[in-house]
Structures are given as structure tokens and as C-alpha cells.
Structure 1
Amino acid sequence: MDGALIVVHRPRGTGGRRVTVRGQIIGLAHNDRDLVEFLRQSGLDETTAEDMVAGDSAMIEWRGGRPHQYEAA
């Protein structure tokens, strides 16, 4: 999915995944709760953010690793 609104990048060697929204880095998520909080801080209400993460929304692109996995392989 080219140009995804929200990108969760590959797990880092030390754990966690960089999260970008519209190309801007918004944080390093270590779990789904962190991801929901970053999305909430970006302007989504908490229920929408939770639904997007839990429902594997097409607006979220998971790169270089399995969705919801935050530890380095």
C-alpha cells in the first residue's frame, strides 16, 4: 500500500516500532496500546484508534514484520 496514512515500521533491534502518520514520525510503539495513544494524539478519538488497531484497518500499513509484533525477530 503506497502512501499509507499510518505506517508501523519494522521492529527495531532493541524492540519497538517507529510509527509515522502522513510521513511524520510520531513515536516508537512497544505495543498496541502505544500505537492507539499515538493515533489519539494525532487527532483520532480513542474508540476509533482502538478499532483501527484491533481491526487491522487498511489505513495502517505494517512494514517489515507481522502486525502487532513489536519485538525484534
Structure 2
Amino acid sequence: MPVVIVYPPDEDGGRRVRIDGEILGRAFGLRDVAEFLRRAGLEGVEASDVPGLAGIEWRGGGPGVWDH
């Protein structure tokens, strides 16, 4: 599993996603986080899988927090 950090929500509700030291973009929900993980090489990750994945560091709230 790569090192994944999901930062606190910004004023627009987006959360920066960093994987292995590289910011891949802003996520606005679990579907976006799953897409970033797939781009990083984790095949078959679905949005419903994201909350249970070990190794994701959620800063400023867990996978259910998307409001600033």
C-alpha cells in the first residue's frame, strides 16, 4: 500500500490527496479518493472500499468529513 494522506477539507469541501509524496489532486468524495488510488496502481478499488483501507491517514476528519 502506498503512503496515502487525505488532508482536511478546504473552504470548497475539497480534500487534497497525497500518495507517495505527490499531490494527485483534490477529492470531493470517496469516489475521487478511489480514483486517485487506482491511478496510483491499486486495481479494483471502489469508493465503498476506501473507508476500510488500512494505511490511509485522514487529517482533519475521517472518510465521512467533507465540509470545511
Shorter-chain-normalised TM-score: which range? Answer: 0.7 to 0.9
SS of 2:34's equivalent?
helix
Q: TM-score, normalised by structure 1?
A: 0.78
For the aligned residue pairs, the C-alpha RMSD in angstroms reads: 1.7
SS of 2:12's equivalent?
coil
Q: Specify the alignment match of 1:26 in structure 2.
A: 24
Instruction: Answer whether contact 2:51 2:63 (CA < 8 A) is retained.
Output: no
Aligned identity (percent) is 45
SS of 2:63's equivalent?
coil
For structure 1, the residue ranges without an aligned partner over 5 or more in a row are none
Q: TM-score, normalised by structure 2?
A: 0.83
Within-5 A mapping of 1:3-42: 5-42=3-40
Distance 1:23 1:52, change over 3 A: farther
Name the CA distance, whole Å, in 2 between partners of 1:61 and 1:13.
Answer: 20
Q: Specify the alignment match of 1:66 in structure 2.
A: 62
1:53 to 50, 53, 57: 50
Structure 1 residue 52, shift from structure 2 partner: 4.7
